[in-house]
Structure 1
Amino acid sequence: MTTSDSDEGARHRRTVIVSGRRTSISVEVAIWDALTDVCKREECTLSDLLTLVD
Structure 2
Amino acid sequence: MVSVKGKDRANAYKKNVSICIYICRFPTEFNHLCVITFGAVDNLHLLYAPPPKAD
Q: Establish whether TM, by shorter chain, passes 0.5.
A: no
Higher relative contact order (CA 8 A, sep 6+): 1
Query: Normalising by the residue count of structure 2, what TM-score does the alignment of the two structures yield?
Result: 0.33
Query: Normalising by the residue count of structure 1, what TM-score does the alignment of the two structures yield?
Result: 0.33
State the structure with more CA Rg: 2
Which has the larger share of strand? 1
